Structure 1
Amino acid sequence: MPVPSIIPIAVPIASRCQTKIASNQSVAFAENAVTIRTRKFLTNRLLSRKQMIVDVLHPGRANVSHKELGERLAKLYKSTEDRVFTFGFRTAFGGGKSTGFALIYDSLDEAKKIEPKYRLIRHGIGAKGLISSKQRKERKNRAKKFRGTKKAKAATAGKK
């Protein structure tokens, strides 16, 4: 039996370029398309916040920044951007989808009371401690030499 031969089809170079440009344009449009879906929404009155799991669909993009997510969630839930805290986002294998957690506080004062210090610092609200780790270690080791109330005095003696 004769083996069927593969017949190459000649495609003009101009048409190849046009299809390539057209496909690049579709990718450019897809980069801007970000879909945000929330699930397991809960209004937590004790902590005066709304909390939810956020699914972000971002085909053609590596991920979406926390700032951009905060802006979109604030607009979606009629809040301000500074009261929205997003964290714990993981991108699914293969990309295109990320899942994380979001908290929207009723007021910024409540957020300052309840949120952990490290998240406030990341958000730009809290102040980071200026003491270096070496200074902390030296203070700890000085305090080891004493017991009781003298220990506290030894620890504060090194502070400037």
Structure 2
Amino acid sequence: FWLKTLKSRNTSTPVKAMEWTIRTKKFITNPLLGRKQMIVDVIHPNMAAVKKDDLRVKLAQQYKASSDRIIVFGMKHSFGGGRSSGFALIYDSVEGRNKFEPKHRLVRIGHGKEKPSTRRAKKDTKNKCKKVRGKDKTKAKGAPKK
């Protein structure tokens, strides 16, 4: 008897996997740094997470700005899933973005130069390659897959 009642109580409808929404709060216009700052709440049921590139595109549509001026960072996923929150910055110009944004964030979105590896790291990879042969050598070098 009790098993039948438990089964009948679950009347929730399944949600599409690709359906997610953005809500912004604590919106601030920062004229000194030439940007708009906000906290972004993303609701994504039945999804693990939303890509930052997708967030940038949707914020660009919402605020009528180009996606290359938008930076999304600090995304934290809530326990249990389905909800994430982080920060978003919308710069007035690309020059302002390049001037005030930290270099590591620019590298992450593909608008900056990555630092060359250190001397110690080069030596370590060289010595790892000495120990292996064949296809394992390319894995040890960290070469990108074709």
User: Which of the five TM-score ranges fits, normalised by the shorter chain?
Assistant: 0.7 to 0.9
Aligned to 1:26: 14
2:77 is the alignment partner of 1:91: yes
Q: Which runs of 5+ in 1 are unaligned?
A: 1-5, 10-22, 136-160
2:28 partner letter:
L
Q: Please give the root-mean-square deviation of Cα atoms over the aligned residues, in Å.
A: 2.3
1:3-152 alignment to 2 at 5 Å?
Answer: 26-27=14-15, 29=16, 31-134=17-120
Q: Tell me, in whole angstroms, the C-alpha distance in 2 between the residues paired with 1:55 and 1:133.
A: 42
Please give the secondary structure, in 1, of the residue aligned with 2:14: helix
Q: Tell me, in whole angstroms, the C-alpha distance in 2 between the residues paired with 1:80 and 1:49.
A: 13
Q: Tell me, in whole angstroms, the C-alpha distance in 1 between the residues paired with 2:59 and 2:83.
A: 17
Q: Percent identity?
A: 49
2:26 partner letter:
K
Please give the secondary structure, in 2, of the residue aligned with 1:26: coil
Deviations 1:24-61 (A, max 9, x none): x934x2x1211100000000000000000000000000
Select the structure that is richer in helix. 1
Name the larger-Rg structure: 1
Change (3 A) 1:133 1:42: farther
Deviations 1:117-144 (A, max 9, x none): 0001001001112242528xxxxxxxxx
Q: Which runs of 5+ in 2 are unaligned?
A: 5-11, 122-146
1:46 partner letter:
L
Change (3 A) 1:33 1:131: closer
TM-score by length of 2: 0.72
TM-score by length of 1: 0.66
Q: Tell me, in whole angstroms, the C-alpha distance in 1 between the residues paired with 2:89 and 2:106.
A: 13
Change (3 A) 1:53 1:133: farther
Q: Tell me, in whole angstroms, the C-alpha distance in 2 between the residues paired with 1:131 and 1:69.
A: 30
Aligned residues: 115
Q: 1:111, CA displacement in angstroms?
A: 0.3
